[in-house]
């Protein structure tokens, strides 16, 4: 069974057909830069373009970098503030002509990794963190998702954690891998103090370079890279959309 998954990010909007039975992409990704400013109507038009690219007419799973409840976006991390309070799910369904399931981006990535990836068969407390434009988070307790955690906005040294340790900050400040890893470790240790996780899964765009920094991180919990790398959000979105069938 194939379903279309779309991952809305601060810099790019990516979509692909997904084999939801096996948790893999069924075709290559199609990416369009996120419009600037990233207002709801403009983002909706790009999502519709991706749906047309795949000539898709079924349910669509779509991630978003925000708190999402009942299809309404209650925050706006790295996207335009007009999204706050918007019924994003209804907007995207209207733009695409398809039934849409909208969910938090890191939650979607975590769903995929827990079912098919690095978190498969892991009980206890598992925390998925995605490092990209910001820091997304998803926490699972014995396989059950606690949605919309947004740990990337935890305050560390007077700033949001993602304004110290996201992959965007690494690039903007031209930090070495060692310098950046020290910031990431500080964040992970704060998470460990609060939640005592058994496993950290590191995802997002930087996960494909995990050999450059993972060995520098020191926590009591085991740390592993996401198996699906930056495709996890698309796969998890498609999985979530199967409830619309």
Domain spans, the chain: 2-107+232-244, 119-226
Give pTM, 2 decimals: 0.93
Within the chain, where are the H helices?
40-53, 88-96, 105-116, 162-165, 167-172, 177-195, 232-241
Query: Tens-digit pLDDT profile for the chain (245 aa)?
Result: 899 999 999 889 999 999 999 999 998 999 999 999 999 999 999 999 999 999 999 999 999 999 999 999 999 988 999 999 999 999 999 999 999 999 999 999 999 999 999 999 999 999 999 998 899 999 999 999 999 999 999 999 999 999 999 999 999 999 999 999 999 999 999 999 999 999 999 998 899 999 999 999 999 999 999 999 889 999 999 999 998 86
All residues at 6 or more sequence positions from 22 whose CB lies less than 8 Å from its CB, including other chains: 116
**Per-residue model confidence (pLDDT) at position 229:** 87
**Per-residue model confidence (pLDDT) at position 78:** 84
2-107+232-244 placed in CATH 3.30.420.40? yes
Percent of the chain with pLDDT over 90: 93
Q: Would you call 11 exposed, middle or buried from its count of C-beta atoms within 10 A (0-12, 13-18, 19+)?
A: middle
**Per-residue model confidence (pLDDT) at position 10:** 86
Q: What is the third-level CATH fold of 119-226?
A: Nucleotidyltransferase; domain 5 (3.30.420)
Q: 140-179 burial, b for 16+ CB within 10 Å, e for fewer? A: beeeebebbbbbbbbeeeeebbbbbbbbbbbeeeeeebee
**Per-residue model confidence (pLDDT) at position 144:** 96
Place of tokens 């110290």: 164
Residue 121, classed as helix, strand or coil, is coil
Asked whether this chain's domains 2-107+232-244 and 119-226 adopt the same fold, the reply is yes
- List pLDDT tens digits, range 15-29: 999 999 999 999 899
């Amino acid at each position: 069974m194939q379903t279309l998954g779309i991952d809305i990010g601060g810099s790019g909007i990516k979509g692909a057909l997904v084999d939801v039975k096996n948790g893999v992409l069924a075709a290559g990704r199609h990416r369009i830069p996120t419009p600037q400013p990233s207002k709801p109507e403009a983002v909706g038009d790009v999502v519709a373009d991706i749906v047309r690219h795949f000539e898709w007419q079924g349910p669509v799973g779509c991630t978003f970098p925000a708190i999402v409840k009942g299809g309404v976006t209650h925050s706006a991390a790295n996207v335009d503030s007009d999204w706050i309070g918007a019924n994003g799910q209804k907007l995207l369904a209207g733009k695409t002509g398809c039934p849409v399931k909208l969910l938090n981006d890191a939650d979607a990535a975590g769903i995929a990794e827990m079912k098919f990836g690095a978190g498969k068969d892991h009980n206890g407390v598992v925390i998925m963190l995605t490092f990209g434009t910001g820091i997304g988070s998803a926490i699972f307790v014995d396989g059950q998702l606690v949605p919309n955690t947004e740990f990337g906005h935890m305050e560390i040294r007077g700033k949001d954690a993602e304004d110290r340790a996201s992959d965007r900050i690494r690039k903007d400040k031209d930090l070495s891998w060692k310098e950046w890893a020290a910031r990431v470790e500080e964040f992970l240790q704060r998470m460990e103090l609060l939640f005592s996780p058994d496993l950290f899964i590191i995802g997002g765009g930087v996960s494909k370079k995990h050999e450059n920094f993972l060995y520098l991180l020191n926590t009591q919990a085991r740390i592993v890279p996401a198996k699906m790398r930056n495709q996890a959000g698309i796969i998890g979105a498609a999985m979530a959309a199967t409830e619309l069938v």
